[in-house]
Structures are given as C-alpha cells and as structure tokens.
Amino acid sequence: MTPLQLTATRLHRQGIARPLAATVTDTIARLGAVQAQDYHAALWAVGLRTAGATEADVEAAIAGGQIVRTWPMRGTLHLVAATDVRWMLSLTAARTMALDAARQQREYGLDEQLAGRCAQMLARALEGGRCLTRSALYDVLEAAGIATGQQRGLQILGRLAQQGVLCQGPREGRQPTFTLLHEWAPQARELPREQALAELAQRYFHSRGPATVQDFAGWSGLTVTDARRGLQAVAQQLQKTSLEGRDYWFAADAESHTPAAVHLLPAFDEYLIAYKDRSAALDLAHARQVIGVNGLYSPVVVINGRVAATWKRAIDKDPVALELRPLRALNKTALRAIESCARRYGQFLGRTVRLDD
C-alpha cells in the first residue's frame, strides 16, 4: 500500500469521500465516537459524513438524546451514540480518571469522597429529567459550601461525567446543559470488558483504517497492551498491509480507492486526530500551522488526501465568510472545487457561504 492509497482508503472509510450513513445516529454509531470539544466543528464533522444532513439534523439528534456529548476518551468531549455511551465510558474513562486523580487532588482538592458528595447533590438537583446549565450546577455546589472557582467546578463535572453520573443534555441558547446519564440514555448498554475492547477495536479499524495499533491506542486512550488485545479479538475481520515497516489494519471489505479531490474539514476532524502518525496527510513543515502548541486543530482543506490549506469562518456575517489560508499554491481548479465544498457547507448551515481567498 502506498501513502496515496492509505489516505484514499481513510477518506472513504471515514465517510468523507462519500457519506457513511443515511442518519446522524448511524454515522456516530459506525464511527464509535467523534471528538467534540468544539461544538460547531463536531456538528459539521458528523454532517459531512451523513447523506443530506443539516446542522439542525445533528442538533436534533443531540437534543433528542440519540447521541450524547460527554467525556469518554482522553478527558476530551466526544459525541457518542446513546446506546454505546455507558460501555465506552466504563472501558476508556477509567484510565483517564486514574491518570488524573493525583493532579485533581493536588490542585483542586478533588478526591473520591468529595466527588461522591457532589454526585449525590447534583443527582438530587437533576432527578426527574431536569437539565441545568453549568452555572446552575455551580450554584448548587456553592450553596453547599463547595467552591467551584478556578476551574474546580469544571473538574468536578468532568469527573462525574467520566464516572457515568452526568452527561450533557440539550443546549440552552449557546450554553450546554447537564443531566443524569441514566435518565438521558436509559437504553445505554453495558458490556464485559473484553467484549467492549473488541467492539471499540472493530468500530475504529472499520471506520478509520488503515491504521496501526499505536494509532488505535492514541485515539482511544487505552494502553498499547489493551489496544492489541482489542485488535487481536477482531483481527479475523480485518486485512493487514505494511507501509514503511509498520503494520496497518483495515476492514476486510475495504475497496481500493483513489482520493476524491477536495474536502472541507472542521477543526479537530477525525481525519487527523484519529492517528498518532499523521504524516500521510500532513507535511511536517505545515504541522504547526495546523496543530497549535496548545493542541488545537485548525479546520483544513484536504486535496488528494493531503492538507493544503486551513480556513476559518465568520458566522456573524451574511453571507457566512470563509477565509482561506493556503499552505501551498492553489490553482483555479482547486479553488473552484473548494467553492463547491463551501456551497455544501452552506447547505448544511442553511445559509449562503462566500469563500474569501
């Protein structure tokens, strides 16, 4: 397999070159999880992979509880199918909490006893299907003498979400709300650990392959040992190929592809963030322009499998303005293709989009 074939297969398996599914919920289920700390970027990440989806469709699935925004992996917000959220939290969030426990106790005085006390208080405040904003939950804690300033409140809410007590609910204006996970996603399944490892590996390699076991470990937050166990459990469903001395695994039914020309991807898109080694898609010389020192991933334009530009939007303008920042020279054909992608993005938003290059 060549690097060009590698990126072409990833673009197809991820649902970028062609839609992954007909519904938002099916897209999320096939991907397993989609990084979502940037809310609007996550909406587009799901929308571009779903046939004919609009931003309103994705938000409706979140507001209706079909997909859940919470912290299953690496201490980072993701969108997860409601049926998968509990087993995924049990599998991946426990390691994140264990790695973070000493820091949380040292910097925030947050230990198991305090977390348990907070869980009881917030459960009483939220029971019966209530959804409250972060500030409202902070008020509940402050009234009980538990300080929430200096990021302590956010640490508390994140920990309770990783424990499966809370998750985010529908938005209230521009603010996320929080609700009780067992009430919001009563259909969420539990899986034995070995089955959960296999399930996560199956989702990852089927939707993001070709990928290495190190890619899977980095994306999931699992140890390499656990990542290998998950891979071994589903290896018979996969093909293996080699590139530059490394083994890559991908779905056995994957077809050979050439890259579709141009794609407009959001910040933190899985096309980059799902892999430990991004060299097939991103030139090292451009890495810092795409991935900041603070770990923030810019929205990008991908041409023939490789990142060719970054972009940003001015949503408060009419029409929405997309400012293009090329990383290399773009010819007229490429610019016309980017304009076509911008129109598709406009259809997703339900607004007119203008490309400013």
69-111: pLDDT as tens digits: 999 999 999 999 999 999 999 999 988 999 999 999 999 999 9
Average pLDDT over residues 283-292: 93
Q: What angle do CA 3, 19, 54 make, to 5 degrees?
A: 130
Instruction: Tell me the mean pLDDT in the region 176-185.
Output: 96
Stretch(es) of the chain classified as CATH 1.10.10.10: 16-184, 193-251
pLDDT at 261: 83
Q: What pLDDT is stored for residue 255 in this prediction?
A: 65
Q: Give the per-residue pLDDT at 293.
A: 84
User: Is residue 276 predicted with pLDDT exceeding 80?
Assistant: yes
DSSP one-letter code for 298 = P
Q: What is the mean pLDDT of the segment spanning 140-146?
A: 96
Nearest-5° Cα angle at 249, 246 to 256: 105
Query: Read out DSSP for 96-123?
Result: HHHHHHHHHHHHH---HHHHHHHHHHHH
Residue in 24, 25, 22 with CA at minimum distance from that of residue 187: 25
Report pLDDT for 257.
61
- In CATH, what is the architecture of 16-184? Orthogonal Bundle (1.10)
pTM of the model: 0.94
Percentage of the chain beyond pLDDT 70 is 98
Contacts 24+ apart (CB under 8 A), 191-197: 191/87, 191/90, 191/91, 193/90, 193/91, 194/229, 194/233, 196/87, 196/88, 196/90, 196/91, 197/91, 197/222, 197/226, 197/229, 197/230, 197/233
**pLDDT tens digits for range 196-220:** 999 999 999 999 999 999 999 999 9
pLDDT at 81: 97
Task: Provide the token pair at 81.
Answer: 């199918």
- Would the pLDDT of 142 be above 80? yes
Q: How many CB atoms lie within 10 A of CB 4?
A: 15
Does residue 341 surpass a pLDDT of 80? yes
What's the pLDDT tens digit per position in 237-264? 999 999 989 999 999 876 656 656 899 9
Amino acid at 351: R
pLDDT the model gives residue 298: 96
Q: What is the DSSP letter of 192?
A: -
- Of 233, 195, 186, 234, the closest CA to residue 68 belongs to 186
CATH top class, domain 193-251: mainly alpha
Confidence at residue 1, expressed as pLDDT on a 0 to 100 scale? 84
* 316: confidence class by pLDDT, cuts 50, 70, 90: confident
Mean of the per-residue pLDDT values for the chain? 94
Mean pLDDT of the region 273-299: 93
In the block, tokens 């009881």 appear at: 120
pLDDT of residue 260: 61
Q: What is the mean pLDDT of residues 328-339?
A: 93
